[in-house]
Structure 1
């Protein structure tokens, strides 16, 4: 298919061009069509002129008779092919001859045939899966994403789109809709089992035990380093008549007891640690299985979600975050743009070396292709409906732009082949006569 014809396919079915590049492409196709049409018509006219000139010769010899027969057959061939080409798009000479203006009169059938063709030969599981597997889409995508030229382009596109997204989300109606929808979802959500499973996952990890022990160590160290501050707190809450020495002893006892408890908790097999684990497992079991405990957790969650101050705080956080993001995106050295660029490069490089993930992506694409195939009847009907909805004059004009210039060669070839056929027939008749 020629580049001109490929570009013109995008304009098919559109009554008006959408931009200057499309206008330029359409003008080029129309000039080519008009040029080829003029050539074909000129050739036919030349045959007619030759026939007239030779017809008025009173005593034609062999050569004149040969030219007359050649021109006569060329006229017949040229007219026949002109009729055939014209009949595709309109009634020749405006006459309602049967089986002419084939495209506009068969518009609905063309749409149905095109839809069925796509359904039977393109939207099949075998064709799509074979194409996907041969394309190695995941590998090519990871290579493209890992390319140094790709990340800046994607980062620039994301940075250009984000301000519009952020400003759209500042719409009061949209925020109210999101708050109402998410609020209803949060109120209906049962977070007790989720919390229980999350705690279970965290406590089942050895890394969590290490983190827990370090946190206890930090807490014990903080208590040790802030003995004086704790003493002053005890002294402020003590009776005026209690001696300072007793207050200090009470403060030291509290600190020492707390540090001892924290140190016991740090020991994996200590009695305190075992009791703590038992209490934690009991809490997990209640969060998952106890209706009363889950009801209390959900009621507490709903009070937080519905509290006006919490909602105002969330709104303030969002507005401040939006302001900071918009300011950052307006700078040439935007941190968000740089972060997106780095993420693209990192993801591309990781994907390029991770065969398992590439296989997962290919599998996902194949599942999407199979899902698309399940909609092939609807897609076929959609194509037929779109073709049927096109304006007939526009459809004819667009199709003629796509293939009309090539069809003019049929007219030229018909005239030339007819002329040669007439010449050959005349020579044979002379030889046999």
Structure 2
């Protein structure tokens, strides 16, 4: 574009010379000469103006030229202030973020993940490198310690009581109670010989001699079997109701009895201090770590499995659930506004200091590359518009 603008200026100079030579041959050449003469003036004036922005024209130290190199610090400050006043004000950020559907974009990305795209591969490599670079024993100990501290400080008795009361209210305890009764029935059946022997040993000689001990054992065992069967078949069986009353008392004690809560708290502390629990936790952590490594090393397989299906379901939910979308978009908006409020001045200083740190040649070259093409259009337009103005002036002069 610079060569084109310069060539057009030279063409006007050549046209001016031709018109000046040919002027005596015909009056029309006067119009051509006026057009070319004014075009040269307009082209030269705009060349001077454009060049003066970035350097001294013809390397002459003319005042008010090389404007950008001389004022680069002020340009940096002005650019930083422009960013702050138009982009980094919390109110402006909030207004712009209100039109951004972050949840919808996240949902679309999760529901339609790019197969082994650059983002997935980069994130996978980063996660794998982080997991492998960390000290696993130390990391596992840190995670275990943090979890153990949270569990030690947690009073779980009221939560257990609330969960038990909710289960009783919704009837979810019934299958568990039935299982306990069936277990008792199976235990009784498998230990019949032991019970018969106990009754035989404790019976008197007369009962053993008459065989009444065996009859007594049969009656006791049969009665217990019938009792357990009736408890399963009859939801309103007295013993079953007594068991449910006991569970209700336990739920109330877990929530309100200081002694029961202290016993549960002590039991929890004893379990956490047990070396077997610590060994079990380290094994769980190692399995988790290996699973995470397999996941991040081959994200394609992970996305094809249950984890990928869960991500796709999450993406669908983010796109379809208006309440969840509003919540996430509100969080994103508040996060962006908070970042603008907390770090806006830092971003402004970064821009200003960066521009101020550039040397004059760097900022001149970068700005000229960014807007130079449009500036050359100014030279072209100046040449053509100047020629038209000169032609109009010549025409008016001839008419008057």
TM > 0.5: yes
Cross-structure match for 2:266: 299
Match of 1:270 in 2: 237
Alignment correspondent of 2:45? 80
d(CA) in 1 for partners of 2:223, 2:54: 99
Which residue number in structure 2 is paired with residue 44 of structure 1?
Answer: 9
Secondary structure of 1:123's aligned partner = helix
The answer to whether structure 1 residue 192 and structure 2 residue 164 are counterparts is no
TM-aligned CA distance change 1:272 to 1:403, over 3 Å: farther
* Match for residue 81 of structure 2 among 112, 117, 131: 112
CA distance, structure 1, for counterparts of residue 286 and residue 331 of structure 2: 40
CA drift of 1:267 comes to 4.3
1:215 deviates by 1.6
Equivalent position to 1:428, from 388, 392, 396: 396
Length, aligned pairs only: 380
Q: Render the CA deviation track for 1:184-242: whole Å, top value 9, x for unaligned.
A: 33322222222222222222223x134224423532453355346x739988xx99xx9
- With normalisation by structure 1, the TM-score equals 0.68
1:112 offset after TM fit, Å?
0.7
The equivalent of 1:175 in structure 2 is 140
Q: Is the 8 A contact 1:216 1:266 kept in 2?
A: no
Specify the alignment match of 2:278 in structure 1.
Answer: 311
- In structure 2, stretches of 5+ residues that fail to align are none
Provide the TM-score with structure 2 as the length reference: 0.73
> Structure 1 pair 165/288, CA: closer, same or farther in 2 (3 Å)?
farther
SS in 1 for 2:87: helix
Distance 1:209 1:202 in 2: 6
Structure 2 residue aligned with 1:358: 322
Match of 1:416 among 364, 384, 388: 384
5 Å-filtered alignment, 1:49-128, equals 50=15, 62=27, 65-89=30-54, 93=59, 95=61, 97-98=63-64, 100-101=67-68, 105-119=74-88, 123=92, 125-128=94-97
Aligned to 1:24: none
Bigger drift between 92-101 and 74-83 goes to 92-101
Q: What CA deviation, in whole Å up to 9, does each residue of 1:376-401 have, x standing for no partner? A: 44454344223213243555544443
- Of the three residues 148, 156, 176, the one matched with 1:212 is 176
Which one has a bigger Cα radius of gyration? 2
Pairwise CA distance, 1:40:
2.1
CA distance 1:163–1:254, shift in 2 (3 Å): farther
Unmatched segments (≥5 aa) in structure 1: 1-35
Whether the 8 Å contact between 1:112 and 1:380 is mirrored in structure 2 is no
Tell me, yes or no, if the aligned pair for 2:116 and 2:299 is still in contact at 8 Å. Answer: no
Distance 1:303 1:223, change over 3 A: closer
